[in-house]
Amino acid sequence: MDGERIEGTWRHAFIRNGGTYYLTDLLIYADGMVDCSGLVTLDEFATKLASGWVATKLVDGARASAHHLAAWTFTEPRTWLTPEMLLGEVRDDVDQLNGRPDSTDRCLAALDVFRGQPSEDNRAKLRATYEAIPEHMRIYALGDQDRKDWPLRVLVAGPGSELDRYGHAVAVTEEVHSAALDYFADREQQRHRYANKAPTDGQTEPIETSIIINQAFFPRGWPQDPGILALRNEFPTPITVDEQTYPTVTHAYWALAVADDQDQAAIRCADTPYAAQKIAEKSTLRVGWPQARTAVMAHLLRVKFNQHPDLAETLTATGATRLIYTEVGSTFWGQRGMQGRNWMGRLLELIRSELAMSGTGIQV
């Protein structure tokens, strides 16, 4: 309404209308509205479930329809959800859409409180949050495929109680209860070790803050100490490729991009990188250039930093930092905010890694 976007999700459901069960999409929105052949609130949705309008029980021999797709008759239908289970799932969906803790998250938070202070009052709160998880989802609460939710059930029940496990009655003794507490202590330690474990071959993401190599214009000439801007393609660094010398990487890139020999020469002699690009824009590009351009640029960067060791030092001095290259008008080469593929930044990181490999004496 009023142009406001409401996030949502969906799931399949049967709507029972006039004795026919219609397979449809149940649409769930962050504001708590549910579309089950008409928008309703969560409370109204609960009423629809209780009445059987949103069906969780299917009748043998009843007619079913997927609207214009197919129709059939149920034969020995089996369902797994009760109205309470489906309502619980939908409530969790709404919480997740709003970035709030869902029923499982709330139970695990209550678990942490109980483990920190194992009083009977906190056990009662833990029990309440555990029972608030949709019944069929409780076995997934710990994400443990082997033990399921057994350690959690033990803490919820407490010593002196009895639980059913795989059809057998198991007494929750002090030893069983203590073992469950140990399970969660070990689990916490394992997660901490995993979270702080560095991959064998080094960090997967650089720890340092990203460096942004901004596009800049200097009508009166580049500063004497350009710093990180020396990594820009338009920085005045002559490079020689196939016995041809170009004023900048940008000149070389556009000269190699066009098919016409005269345009190549004009680009090579252009006064500025901008002028070189403008000539290329009016020319015809080589066949297959869009597929080859990344490899060409990688080659030109290798030439630049091999022919200018001082600039190679500027690049390697960035360490393991992520490099973000801004490029007006190109979301392929550059990035602004979250937009753009940042291929130039990624290629600079690749060349930096190659320079580092050369410095270590590693040969491949």
Question: Comparing C-alpha atoms, which of 52, 134, 60 is closest to residue 92?
Answer: 134
Q: How far apart are CA 359 and CA 348, in angstroms?
A: 17
Question: What residues contact residue 230 under an 8 Å CB cut-off, 6+ apart?
Answer: 237, 311, 314
- What confidence score (pLDDT) does residue 362 get? 83
- What confidence score (pLDDT) does residue 6 get? 77
Q: How far apart are CA 345 and CA 297, in angstroms?
A: 12
Q: How far apart are CA 221 and CA 223, in angstroms?
A: 7
- What confidence score (pLDDT) does residue 206 get? 64
Q: How far apart are CA 269 and CA 255, in angstroms?
A: 10
Q: How far apart are CA 267 and CA 277, in angstroms?
A: 8
Angle at which helices 103-116 and 150-157 cross, to 10°? 60
- Domains of the chain from N-terminus onward: 8-97 (no CATH), 103-196 (no CATH), 211-360 (1.10.357.40)
pLDDT per residue as tens, the chain (364 positions): 455 677 899 999 999 998 999 999 999 999 999 999 899 999 999 999 999 999 999 999 999 999 889 999 999 999 989 999 999 999 999 999 999 999 999 999 999 999 999 999 999 999 999 999 999 999 999 999 999 999 999 999 999 999 999 999 999 999 999 999 999 999 999 988 887 777 777 776 666 679 999 998 888 889 999 999 999 999 999 999 999 999 999 999 999 999 999 999 999 999 999 999 999 999 999 999 999 999 999 999 999 999 999 999 999 999 999 999 999 888 999 998 778 999 999 999 999 999 999 888 888 8
- What confidence score (pLDDT) does residue 207 get? 63
* pTM score of the predicted model: 0.60
- What confidence score (pLDDT) does residue 1 get? 43
- What confidence score (pLDDT) does residue 170 get? 95
Q: How far apart are CA 364 and CA 358, in angstroms?
A: 10
Q: How far apart are CA 31 and CA 100, in angstroms?
A: 12
Note whether 49 and 56 are within 8 A (CB).
yes
Question: Comparing C-alpha atoms, which of 301, 307, 343, 339 is closest to residue 323?
Answer: 343
